[in-house]
Amino acid sequence: MNNSALAVSSDEVQAPVASRSDVLVVGGGPAGTAAAVTAARAGASVTLLERYSSLGGLASGGMVLVLDDMINGQEITVTGIVSEYVERLQKLGLAVVPPKEDRRASEELWNKWNRYGTYDFHSKAHPKPIVYAAAFDPDGWKRVSNDLVRESGVRLFLHSWFARPIVDDGVIKGVIAETKSGPQVHLADVVIDTTGDIDVASRAGADYIQGSYITTLVFRLGGIDVRRAEEFEQADPKAARALNRQAKRILGGAWEHWWLKTPLDGVIWCNAPHMNGFDGTDPESLTEADFSARERIAAVVEYVRESMPGFENAFVVDTAPQIGVRQTRLLQGEYVMTKDDVVQRRHFQDSVARGRDYYYPYRSLVPTNVDQLLVAGRHYSATSDAQKTSREIPPCMAMGQAVALAGVLSLQQKLLVRDVDATDIQRLMREHNADPGDVPSENATIDEFSAVPTAEKEAIEV
């Protein structure tokens, strides 16, 4: 698909110019904040736009409160800004991370940590190994985001809803945002789309597909006697499984654990209900999803108060202000990652970010039809099946850092962003304490085609 008709040219713009910068980042979620801060630290002038009243996207507004998918065995594979978040949240007492000595498998450690969600959810073993992961507080995430943005000198515009891209002859020049003051123009030499739904790229003329997956309205419950609830589960696991199974039926679906502990005493996080059939780009569908979720939440609270030990005084602390959308539009860029790439752990010569044990080539972050535009986050160039298993928050933040540095390099070297050498991005990623995935792990599959020089590739293709 291609929505280029939704773009406007510079000649057609009549709104006032609110900012001019080297790099413009649209979307202040984890990937966008990482991109903006990294670009500013690398010396660029940076503007960051966010439609909501706070930074954090699905990490704070969507309340996805566990950072995971950033280890391969004992190796921590996703580093950089995400590591800074974890460290700063821990200092605030708003993140819980298993210490290194607890990162292994045992029944005792499973009982200690599993309800924080800090285990290897890909493992088929029982008990599953405890790993490097972080359970965190959403308001703590907002606070750390604000601190990083302020410290790095990013110019931030909250309450600014992206409306249309400005594109001249296939080159993006900026965007128009709607605000309470009316439309505002933000101009830049490089634009990074971190909206989660490639709002900018899709309207600028980039090719994409429409994917779909489950949606969730996350909620938190307070008044929980967590110790009593865990003691009951460990003393009578069969009865506990039956009760939890019924709770998941009422919710309409959930992960292995429908509730997890948080850094706050007596407050639990419920990453549910899982709802199919809703479109995250359709406001009417999202409205229906919100109503459906709230009905299920009310029903499950009534059930657990009556049935589950430790939940007798449960009450709803809050529901996420932002509905959890996992997949909508997906870029179809210079390289489209497949499920086989993820499952086979395919390593690319131009890998600039990595997740658990999979790699993102720079080409998967570059649109084909628009220049000076990059993407980062869950809408990267992939098939629907590939994205479902490679869209977690930490690697999305690594993508944000990678494209930020690519944008800065393009300005320094006077190149189009698509012509930036991936080896330069890899070098800068390491300077910014991030792992670009340039060194394949032992179990990686080498993508031989991507390592062939361009002239030889063209000969092969012919």
Q: List, for residues 407-438, the tens digit of each pLDDT value.
A: 999 999 999 999 999 999 999 999 999 999 99
Look at residue 220 and tell me whether its pLDDT is greater than 60. Answer: yes
| Mean pLDDT, rounded, for 247-263 | 96
pLDDT at 450: 55
Within-domain flag for 456: no
pLDDT at 238: 97
Q: List, for residues 268-282, the tens digit of each pLDDT value.
A: 999 999 999 999 999
| Mean pLDDT, rounded, for 302-331 | 97
Within-domain flag for 364: yes
pLDDT bin (cut points 50, 70, 90) of residue 83 is very high
- Give percent of the chain with pLDDT exceeding 90: 93
Q: List, for residues 379-410, the tens digit of each pLDDT value.
A: 999 999 999 999 999 999 999 999 999 999 99
363 and 227 in one domain?
A: no
Look at residue 462 and tell me whether its pLDDT is greater than 50. Answer: no
pLDDT at 451: 43
**Are the C-beta atoms of 199 and 26 separated by less than 8 Å?**
yes
pLDDT bin (cut points 50, 70, 90) of residue 73 is confident
Query: What's the domain count of the chain?
Result: 2
Within-domain flag for 273: yes
pLDDT at 456: 38
Q: List, for residues 319-350, the tens digit of each pLDDT value.
A: 999 999 999 999 999 999 999 999 999 999 99
Within-domain flag for 78: no
303 and 333 in one domain?
A: no
300 and 232 in one domain?
A: yes
285 and 166 in one domain?
A: no
54 and 15 in one domain?
A: yes
Which residues, other chains included, contact 430 with Cβ-Cβ below 8 Å and sequence gap of 6+? 436
252 and 206 in one domain?
A: no
Q: List, for residues 195-209, the tens digit of each pLDDT value.
A: 999 999 999 999 999
Alpha-carbon distance values, 96 to 82, 102, 135, 144, 211 (Å): 14, 13, 5, 15, 34
Q: List, for residues 114-133, the tens digit of each pLDDT value.
A: 999 999 998 999 999 999 99
pLDDT at 449: 56
pLDDT at 153: 98
pLDDT at 448: 63
Domain end residue (candidates: 325, 357, 376): 325
Q: Which domain holds residue 303?
A: 214-325
pLDDT at 447: 81
CATH assignment of the domain containing 53: 3.50.50.60
348 and 207 in one domain?
A: yes
**Are the C-beta atoms of 373 and 382 separated by less than 8 Å?**
no
Average pLDDT taken over every residue of the chain: 95
**Are the C-beta atoms of 436 and 429 separated by less than 8 Å?**
yes
Look at residue 154 and tell me whether its pLDDT is greater than 60. Answer: yes
Domain end residue (candidates: 310, 325, 340): 325
pLDDT at 443: 82
Look at residue 247 and tell me whether its pLDDT is greater than 60. Answer: yes
**Are the C-beta atoms of 144 and 82 separated by less than 8 Å?**
no
410 and 311 in one domain?
A: no
| Mean pLDDT, rounded, for 21-40 | 98
Within-domain flag for 342: yes
414 and 316 in one domain?
A: no
Look at residue 454 and tell me whether its pLDDT is greater than 50. Answer: no
Within-domain flag for 372: yes
Look at residue 33 and tell me whether its pLDDT is greater than 90. Answer: yes
Within-domain flag for 136: no
pLDDT bin (cut points 50, 70, 90) of residue 461 is very low
CB neighbours of residue 349 within 10 Å: 18
32 and 20 in one domain?
A: yes
Q: How far apart are CA 136 and CA 116, in angstroms?
A: 9
